[in-house]
Structure 1
Amino acid sequence: MTTHMTESGIRYEDIVTGEGKMATGLGQTAIVHYTGWLEDGTKFDSSKDQNKTFSFPIACGMVIKGWDEGIIGMQEGGTRKLTIPSELAYGSAGAGDVIPPDATLIFEIELIEVSE
């Protein structure tokens, strides 16, 4: 797998390249399965563990910036690994007792569906 980096510092690898509709941004809604880990390998969340997909409007600020940016260019059926720097995740605030301040987060996102 080839690792790519966005201008903002997100590293990503396409684990599976999808063949469906492409996520291009504003005006679309994504339905995904995801798992998130801290850099030390600690899993902190997974839609698969809950057996429930997650949907969000792309590029609307409803999820962390790293997701809004990192899903662009994915196609339905694809799976992408994102390594998101803290400033594009929860920053110096962290998130409760789960994500410490200044944490780099690693997500595996499976894009199930994109709708307009």
Structure 2
Amino acid sequence: MAVTVENAEDLTRAPGASVTPDTLPSDLDITDLVIGGGAEAKTRDTVQVQYQGIRVSDGGEFDSSWSRGGAPVEFPLGQVIDGFKLGISGMREGGRRILVVPPHQGYGDQGVPPVIPAGAHLVFVVDLVKVN
């Protein structure tokens, strides 16, 4: 699977991710675009992130903090989908990462209709803004 990201290293601008779904991973796939130098996120932490979410099936954006005004979103890392929890854990503040999330580490067989279909592979571009 190929993921390309406009503004890949410019964390002041929204990423523009696009996907070419050829071979889909069976487990979480993590690619660092920018390695941050700040605090490291752990599953017990609350984090602030900017993100863009893309459906692999049609390449469409289903959610983005950038599209909703650009303010970071805050959440306890231990209370989100496994793809986010495992994909953001170990990341450092100031970093940008691509997460390719298979269904069993995302929203599974139920999906989140009508936005995320059942059994969907998802791609997230995540910027770790702050670890609390």
**Could you say which residue in structure 2 is the equivalent of 1:58?**
77
1:21 is the counterpart of 2:39: yes
For 1:34-53, list aligned pairs within 5 A: 34-39=51-56, 40-51=58-69, 52-53=71-72
**Could you say which residue in structure 1 is the equivalent of 2:118?**
101
Give, as a single letter, the amino acid of the residue that structure 2 aligns with 1:54: V
The TM-score normalised by the length of structure 2 is: 0.76
**Could you say which residue in structure 2 is the equivalent of 1:5?**
none
CA deviations 1:58-98 (Å, max 9, x no partner) are 22x2x211101110110000000000000111111010201
Paired positions, count: 105
CA RMSD of aligned residues (A): 1.1
Give, as a single letter, the amino acid of the residue that structure 2 aligns with 1:110: D
For 1:70-85, list aligned pairs within 5 A: 70-85=87-102
Shift in Å, 1:101: 0.5
CA deviations 1:5-63 (Å, max 9, x no partner) are xxx8100100110010011221x11000000001131111100111221111122x2x2
The TM-score normalised by the length of structure 1 is: 0.86
Secondary structure in 2 matching 1:91: coil
Structure 1 unaligned runs (5+)? 1-7
Inter-partner Cα distance in structure 1 for 2:64 and 2:77:
19
**Could you say which residue in structure 2 is the equivalent of 1:4?**
none
Inter-partner Cα distance in structure 2 for 1:92 and 1:53:
29
Secondary structure in 2 matching 1:45: strand
- Alignment counterpart, residue 84 of structure 2, candidates 64, 67, 73: 67
